[in-house]
């Protein structure tokens, strides 16, 4: 069975790739703490929405990862660590809001509930929010790096749920005459040639 997606990690972020076969990843929240090559991934997360989404996508695309150490100091207001713990414990509601999160904007918009469920099933979160001692963090990594079995399913490659809409608005009428040749649709903020109307 393949345990790591071909293009792993799937999404870019503020992290370092270590040993993809390791059972543990480390999220240092808003703290910058030197990484260990014994962790699969090691990086920060400062937001309760896109940051949490990136963590989920990168974790579930590597079936070797069974633990996430959540450490470091929280980012003020966003509470990315609290939101990561909340989505793992409670999931999201029908609007994508992380249930139980106290973050400022705890909405998941780009990944499916199936991806969230896989995250909940695949990993155990080690809540050490506030821990910044590098020696203690390395001890935890060493304790968990080989612990447990690979998740029994192949990597889950999550793709964006949202289709981007064009931000260009096509004017339906020109309500401001700029010259004989050009008109402007004030609502759309678009200038077009008068003959287009």
Q: What is the pLDDT of residues 165-182, one digit of tens each?
A: 444 444 445 567 767 676
41/9 Cα distance (integer angstroms): 9
- What's the pLDDT tens digit per position in 179-192? 767 676 666 666 66
Average pLDDT rounded to a whole number, residues 37-56: 95
Q: Taking the model in full, what pTM does it have?
A: 0.80
- Of 37-41, 73-77, 112-116, which range is least confident? 73-77
- Contact between residue 137 and residue 69 where contact means Cβ atoms under 8 Å apart: yes
pLDDT of residue 27 exceeding 70? yes
Q: Residue 160 has which token pair?
A: 């964006």
Q: What is the mean pLDDT of the chain?
A: 88
For the beta carbon of residue 67, count every other beta carbon within 10 angstroms: 24
Task: Give which of 168, 167, 51 is closest to 68, Cα–Cα.
Answer: 51
What pLDDT is attached to residue 151?
98
Task: HSE, CB side, 13 Å, CA atoms: give it for residue 28.
Answer: 23
What pLDDT is attached to residue 139?
98
What pLDDT is attached to residue 77?
84
């Amino acid at each position: 069975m393949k345990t790591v997606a071909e293009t792993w990690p799937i999404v870019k972020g503020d992290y370092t790739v270590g040993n993809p076969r390791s059972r543990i990843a480390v999220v240092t929240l808003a703290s910058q703490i030197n990484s260990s090559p014994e962790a699969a991934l090691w990086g920060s997360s400062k937001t309760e929405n896109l940051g949490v989404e990136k963590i989920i996508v990168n974790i579930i695309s590597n079936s070797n990862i069974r633990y996430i150490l959540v450490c470091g100091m929280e980012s003020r207001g966003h509470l990315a660590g609290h939101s990561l713990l909340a989505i793992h414990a409670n999931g999201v509601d029908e609007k994508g809001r992380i249930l139980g999160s106290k973050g400022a904007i705890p909405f998941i918009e780009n990944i499916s509930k199936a991806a969230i469920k896989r995250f909940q099933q695949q990993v155990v979160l080690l809540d050490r929010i506030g821990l910044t001692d590098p020696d203690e963090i390395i001890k935890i990594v060493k304790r968990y790096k080989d612990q447990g079995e690979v998740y029994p399913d192949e990597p889950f490659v999550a793709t964006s749920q949202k289709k981007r809409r064009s931000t260009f608005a096509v004017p339906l009428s020109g309500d401001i005459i700029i010259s004989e040749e050009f008109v402007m649709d004030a609502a759309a903020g678009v200038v077009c040639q008068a003959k287009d109307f």
